[in-house]
Structure 1
Amino acid sequence: MGDFFNQGWSIYISAIALLGIAFCLWLLWTQRAWLSPSMEEQESSHVWDGNITELNTNVPRWWTVMYVLLCIFALGYLIMYPGLGSYQGMLSYSAAKEVQAQQEQINARLAPTYERFREMPLEQIADDAEARAIGQRLFLNNCAQCHGSDAQGSPSFPNLTDSTWMWGGKPEDILHTITEGRRGIMTAHKGVLTPGEASDIAQYVRSLNSLAHDQSRVPSGKKLFEQTCFACHGADAKGNQLLGAPDLTSGNWLYGSSEAVIVEGILNGRDNQMPAQKNRLTEEQIRLLAGWVWGLSNNTSK
């Protein structure tokens, strides 16, 4: 309940909750027995068609007491637990804390299983049958949503089974990527290049991969590439792993190799983020996961 855009929303939600309880209490007060008309007044004022009498029966006392107690319970709940906008409650309870506590209990229970992998090199983890089985389950539970259950990725999510790595494919590189996360930003050039110039660059880049291209536009595209793109991708277009700039000659395309897709990336830029897992997984779990991922592209037993 604390993730509001501004304090106004917090006040609005709090007002709705409290006014709802206040309205219930007001309704009960207005319907209390001593405000009801006498039987004679009811009969004289609610006779229809000469002989049909409509009577107003007072609300039963047990019903009134029950609703008063429910209102008191609601107020107590809102004081003790989150419910009034950004107010966290006297107990400071949150579902996130509960999940974290449960996760810590699970990790403590599984700690003996992970213990023997604590100091094991990632290359050995990739060759250990038990470690691979655990690593695969960790991948399916935490990574498959983006990279796919087969780890071959999808548009904007890299394939983890080939030998192309934007940030490096060594065991320690993969371990760092999973632990700390990555963020790759392709600068937008809409204000620097025209669509035609971006198209020329696309023709040049496609030519580096033996894809269909307009040869007459390649020289212009190469010149523009050397002026605009070499700082990140290098003069040879082979990228820079320190920056996460991909190799544009490898034939592997994160978003696709069509001219339209390349031009879109040049003009509008790209912003990809791999979330850090250090706050979700234990150190041993990350090592098992990194070892399994490394093994996918390094000829280990699968």
Structure 2
Amino acid sequence: MSTGWTVFIVVLTAFNILGCAWLLWWTAKRRPGDPKPEETSHYWDGDITEFNKPMPRWWINWFYLMIVFGIGYLAWYGGLGGIDGLSSWSSHDEHALAKAADDARLEETFAPYKGRPIDQIARDPAAIKLGQSIFSNNCATCHGSSAQGAIGFPNLGDDIWHWGGSPEEILTSILDGREGVMPEWGTVLTGMGGDSAVISVVAYVRSLSDPARSKDYLAVQGQRLYEGVCIACHGVDGKGNTALGSPDLTDDYWMYGDSTAQLTQSIAHGRHGVMPAWRDMLGETRSRLVGAYVWSLSHPGGETATATATPAAQETASQ
């Protein structure tokens, strides 16, 4: 705190303390010429009189003691701007001590899960409850309290993972975040196929998850455009690429909506999705607990990671 503010607070505090003491002294004494306590001229029902007596001496003395106590409190604990108290106590240090104690208790609680794979942690009901609590405090803002997501935020309760669904890939998504970018293709596609190019690609993309549409005129036209632009990320078969976060277009899940307007927006103007990195905020162990909770949502029976793990992860698990 600056010197100017410290001086202002000291002067203001001294003015208030001295003002209270002066007001108490001024109003507690009677002076020559003052009317007697019963001479207020306030009467009711003939025999009820309002008196104006001074406060009892014990009350006045107690008030003086409170003023002295306030001065002592300020001297001991501080409170006059940047001037430290005689005890050197500060709320900052008090908070640091309380935080250190709480962190130690949390560390003890989380210690059993340190370094363990999230699919193993997910078998522990107590760990799932901890992970759910951490999820509710940090992740529910985007993914919802039930982790079902919303437009632009993925559903974590299904088996669709744009960045991969192995335990290692899920943990990486939480710790280091993800950034998915769908470029704007409207101008490029229009240059290749005219004004109907974007809607033709929309028709073809729809046909990937609904083969009955594959013979539609627009879908046929859109396939050529798709193969000229989109296969670099989504692949020839539309299965996507988890290394890039590009979604599988053959399923029935559309993170940004499946209406014609929403798909047109995605293709013509692009999308930019960001999953924040939580390594610094949560730390690795708490991130593992969140990952275990998320894993349990799509593996309610406690299945192991063998079916969806990467070959490297399967080799590691078998060693």
Question: What is the TM-score when the length of structure 1 is the normalising length?
Answer: 0.65
Task: Summarize the alignment of residues 271-282 of structure 1 with structure 2, pairs less than 5 Å apart.
Answer: 271-282=272-283
Q: SS at 1:119's partner residue?
A: coil
Q: Tell me, in whole angstroms, the C-alpha distance in 1 between the residues paired with 2:284 and 2:122.
A: 16
Aligned to 1:238: 239
Deviation of 1:210 after TM superposition, in Å, equals 1.8
Q: 1:132 to 1:147 in 2, by over 3 A?
A: same
Tell me the alpha carbon deviations over residues 141-190 of structure 1, each in whole angstroms, 9 at most, x when there is no partner.
11011001111100000000111000000001010000000000000113
Q: SS at 1:254's partner residue?
A: coil
163-172 or 257-266: bigger deviation: 257-266
Q: Partner amino acid for 2:255? A: L
Aligned to 1:62: none
Aligned to 1:56: none
Aligned to 2:201: 201
Q: SS at 2:258's partner residue?
A: coil
The answer to whether the Cα contact below 8 Å between 1:126 and 1:300 also exists between their aligned partners in 2 is no
Task: Summarize the alignment of residues 84-95 of structure 1 with structure 2, pairs less than 5 Å apart.
Answer: none
Q: 1:103 to 1:220 in 2, by over 3 A?
A: farther
Deviation of 1:282 after TM superposition, in Å, equals 2.0
Long gaps (5+) in structure 1 = 1-16, 22-75, 81-94
Deviation of 1:123 after TM superposition, in Å, equals 1.7
Aligned to 1:191: 187
Aligned to 2:170: 174
Q: Tell me, in whole angstroms, the C-alpha distance in 2 between the residues paired with 1:100 and 1:235.
A: 57
Q: Tell me, in whole angstroms, the C-alpha distance in 2 between the residues paired with 1:212 and 1:274.
A: 35
Q: 1:225 to 1:128 in 2, by over 3 A?
A: same
Deviation of 1:260 after TM superposition, in Å, equals 1.4
Instruction: From the CA coordinates, give the structure whose radius of gyration is larger.
Output: 2
Aligned to 2:105: 109
Residue 140 (1) aligns with residue 141 (2): no
Long gaps (5+) in structure 2 = 9-79, 84-91, 304-319
Aligned match of 1:127 in 119, 123, 126? 123
Aligned to 1:293: 294
Q: 1:102 to 1:219 in 2, by over 3 A?
A: farther
Q: SS at 1:201's partner residue?
A: helix
117-126 or 278-287: bigger deviation: 117-126
Q: Tell me, in whole angstroms, the C-alpha distance in 1 between the residues paired with 2:284 and 2:273.
A: 24
Residue 152 (1) aligns with residue 120 (2): no
Tell me the alpha carbon deviations over residues 212-244 of structure 1, each in whole angstroms, 9 at most, x when there is no partner.
858111111000000010000001111000000
Q: Tell me, in whole angstroms, the C-alpha distance in 2 between the residues paired with 1:173 and 1:99.
A: 37
Q: 1:267 to 1:104 in 2, by over 3 A?
A: farther
The answer to whether the Cα contact below 8 Å between 1:147 and 1:159 also exists between their aligned partners in 2 is yes
Question: What is the TM-score when the length of structure 2 is the normalising length?
Answer: 0.61
Q: Tell me, in whole angstroms, the C-alpha distance in 2 between the residues paired with 1:100 and 1:184.
A: 38
